[in-house]
Amino acid sequence: MSRIVLGVSGGIAAYKSAELLRRLTEDGHDVTVVPTESALRFVGASTWSALSHRPVATDVWTDADQVPHVALARRAELVVVAPATADLIARAAHGLADDLLTNTLLTARCPVLFAPAMHTEMWEHPATVDNVAILRRRGTIVLEPATGRLTGADTGKGRLPEPDEIAGLTELLLHRPDALPYDLAGRHVVVSAGGTREALDPVRFLGNASSGRQGYAVAAVAAARGARVTLVSANAALPDPAGVDVVAAVSAVELREAVRKAAEDADAVVMAAAVADFRPRDAAVHKIKKAGSPPPVDLTENPDILAELVADRGGAARPVLIGFAAETGDDTASVLDHGRAKLARKGCDLLVVNAVGNGRAFGQPDNAGVILGADGTERTIALGPKTVLAAAVCDALASRIDGANLPAG
């Protein structure tokens, strides 16, 4: 059981933090909620207490003999502030400590994650930009806000990231406290995710079992590490990761076009999508009726997108090219043997090899894999949340991008 402090500042998005709290407690974590006084105007203490199964810490005066801000910070393995308003970010950046939450932030020595939520104009104001940069330079993790509906009729950047995404990054930090350095700032990372669909007729298609979760995890982690991320998503029924540009694709040909266009100025391309090897040569114009023997399906090979990217790159060092290989062992070779052969055949820089089948990888929240490098390196990632494998992929691509370790901000 991990000990988490959930700070809640005074914004309308506080109601979404109740769902985040539910997720964290259902995952078995010991969560203490520290709302600001203004946060309690949006969601009352009884709600936080009922969902966390713990008393709510609201001020520095209650149980003052136990020095609550020090006690909370010392026992915490992670502090998450969601929502983090412009006011809270400003106070944290300048070391103000006028309530229990800001006192706790000053005394915490564990990872601290801020999930901002505010109007677009406030997020883009030079004061907020500077304050976020200060926090990131200190090692505080400040997520990019999502784009979408804000308070009232307003729409824009400033929406709180979805609770599931914040919970996923929370799990990552509990597994690996160093997983989200701000080392991809100024870099463009392209990620493909999901599974392509190849039309048989207007209602049927050839497809696969990919949910897109692993590619979405790579996109979310890369964005949290400062990258500009383009996510080419093939039929994934998942919410857009915060701070990520999402381009929809259906078929392998559509995915190819979108990835190659995005890759023109990319520093790295991660091909996590499950791309169909074949497609029907001619899709039926009308629904194929069930009558007698099924008609034969004439298949033609789809383009090899990763191989094309390798050819497009020529002898250049960038973009760094990373493929994924969902493999099963057979009588001729093991999963890793098949992966090594595929790495040599594709010519990419890195290949992430996953053993699939029997309930592994596809559609699951956890994954394991081995990251094979063209230089002969191999890194094994044990079974864990898909964000953990995603962080390892980001580690590998960051180390291969010239000058990737830029100063934060």
What is the rounded distance in angstroms from the CA atom of residue 41 to the CA atom of residue 333? 62
Contact of 401 with 318, CB cutoff 8 Å: yes
Give the position of tokens 């898909």: 386
What is the rounded distance in angstroms from the CA atom of residue 231 to the CA atom of residue 381? 23
What is the rounded distance in angstroms from the CA atom of residue 179 to the CA atom of residue 262? 26
| Pairing label, strands 155-159, 146-149 | antiparallel
Q: Is 302 a catalytic residue?
A: no
Nearest Cα residue to 346 out of 319, 313, 317, 309: 309
What is the rounded distance in angstroms from the CA atom of residue 269 to the CA atom of residue 218? 11
The C-alpha torsion from 342 through 348 and 350 to 355, rounded to 10°, is -30
**Per annotation, catalytic residue among 103, 131, 208, 358:** 208
Give the position of tokens 């007698």: 292
Both tokens of 199, joined, read 């039309």
- HSE-CB of 389 using CA atoms within 13 angstroms: 27
Q: How far are the Cα atoms of 43, 46, 245 from residue 33, in angstroms, in the given order?
A: 12, 11, 32
Overall residue count recorded for the chain in this entry: 409
Nearest Cα residue to 220 out of 192, 201, 236, 242: 242
Contact of 242 with 227, CB cutoff 8 Å: no
What is the rounded distance in angstroms from the CA atom of residue 127 to the CA atom of residue 133? 10
Beta bridge partner(s), residue 193 = 233
Beta bridge partner(s), residue 68 = none
Furthest-apart CA pair in the chain: how many Å?
83
What is the rounded distance in angstroms from the CA atom of residue 92 to the CA atom of residue 106? 8
What is the rounded distance in angstroms from the CA atom of residue 7 to the CA atom of residue 32? 8
User: Which residues does the annotation mark as catalytic?
Assistant: 208
